[in-house]
Amino acid sequence: MGEKTDAGYVGTARAYIVWARGNGIVGKNGVVPIPTARDLIYYGAHHINRGNTPGYVNGIMSALAHVYETRTGCNPTLDDRGEFDRLLARFLLGAAKKHSKLKATRLPLTVPLAYKLVDVIAHANPKLRPGDVVAYVSAILNAVFGMLRTGEFTAERTKFFDPDKTLVLDDVDIQFDAVVYNVRHAKTDKFRQTQDVTVCRTGHRLCPVAALEHWLKVRTGPSNEPIYKLLDGTYVTRARLSTVIRNSLAAVGMPADRFNTYSCRSGGAISASAAGCGEDILKTLGRWKSSAYMAYVQHTKRSTIQGLMTRMALIDDEAISNKDHQAHARRFDI
């Protein structure tokens, strides 16, 4: 096992211990004991309720199993017979099934809805510092217009990130007419090579590039840490972003439980379709699986991207038809 993986597993175990202490799971000597299967189920449910996926929770269980087995000789995910605990297995299976159903009914965060959302972030999330509000506005707008995957610009945990997966400030190149993100760990590239994602200026009051520039004037910290390092030194995570999005959508009267962080990516694709984007260009910009998209990505003109994003910035709810939703749902392997 590599050093980074081992360090990540240890960080996961420490996060569990902090959670356990906060929930009174301590022994008589004040030490957090080796977790039981029931403890792991509660911890898994905690993460599911925060918006993390079953796959993420499975990763946590694997990390805890490895750390405790190597440190104590006891694997908390196994029962007395050395088999995977049945209750824990049923929980993980149930979470996966529920997630699958939610995935089928989740709604997209289109450009018009994103504008409504960012206008109420501060009001809907009163615990956020003013500077951190700027960070979330930038993250959401760039995720929608750039059709970014959440794992590309959020950290795994509030105090830990993988530099091979999470965009850091050094990966950002702000140019005259756009910002270019150098994504190091592209999901659709089996060789895990870097890909450039371009987000152009739109001229709208809620331009994603202008929002990023505003955030970078507020941001502190080194350039080799995540773009969205908040003012208290912690990072924006998938769970934190999900909470902010859902609180804000609830404030504008939307069914918040039907949205998650992926809604930004799907909403960007649907908005692009409504703005007249063709299927080939859409697959190129969104980096969806396709036998052809890598051939297009190097040859898509900046002016084409900028024209599209300018049109995206101007669409309204009425411009988005069922056809745009159906095209996204039917044709793209996400």
Read off the CATH number of the domain in which 84 is found.
Answer: 1.10.150
Residue 104 confidence (pLDDT): 56
Q: How many domains does the chain have?
A: 2
Give backbone dihedrals phi and psi of 205, rounded to 5 degrees, phi first: -65, -25
Indicate if the pLDDT at residue 196 is higher than 60. yes
Shared domain check, 162 and 234: yes
Domain extent, residue 206, equals: 111-331
Residue 276 confidence (pLDDT): 87
The mean pLDDT of the chain is: 86
Distance of alpha carbon 254 from the chain centroid:
20
Nearest by Cα to 236 from 135, 164, 109, 311: 135
Query: What is the rounded CA–CA span in Å between residue 187 and residue 288?
Result: 9
Shared domain check, 300 and 186: yes
Q: pLDDT tens digits, residue range 228-280?
A: 999 999 999 999 999 999 999 999 999 998 898 889 998 898 898 888 887 77
Shared domain check, 7 and 30: yes
Residue 295 confidence (pLDDT): 42
Residue 323 confidence (pLDDT): 56
Query: What is the rounded CA–CA span in Å between residue 186 and residue 58?
Result: 21
Q: pLDDT tens digits, residue range 130-143?
A: 999 999 999 999 99
**Could you tell me the pTM of the whole model?**
0.72
Q: Confirm if 75 and 65 have CB atoms less than 8 A apart.
A: yes
Q: Which of 52, 80, 105 is the last residue of a domain?
A: 105
Cite the beta strand spans of the chain per DSSP E: 172-174, 178-183, 195-200
Shared domain check, 129 and 97: no
Read off the CATH number of the domain in which 229 is found.
Answer: 1.10.443.10
Shared domain check, 181 and 50: no
Would you mind telling me the total number of residues written for the chain in this entry?
A: 334
Shared domain check, 236 and 157: yes
Q: Which of 105, 132, 147 is the last residue of a domain?
A: 105
Q: Which of 59, 86, 105 is the last residue of a domain?
A: 105
Give backbone dihedrals phi and psi of 190, rounded to 5 degrees, phi first: -65, -20
Q: Confirm if 245 and 294 have CB atoms less than 8 A apart.
A: no
Question: Hey, is 174 helix, strand or coil?
Answer: strand
Indicate if the pLDDT at residue 152 is higher than 80. yes
Shared domain check, 86 and 175: no
Take residue 39 and report the two structure tokens written for it: 């403890």
Query: What is the rounded CA–CA span in Å between residue 328 and residue 283?
Result: 10
Distance of alpha carbon 123 from the chain centroid:
22
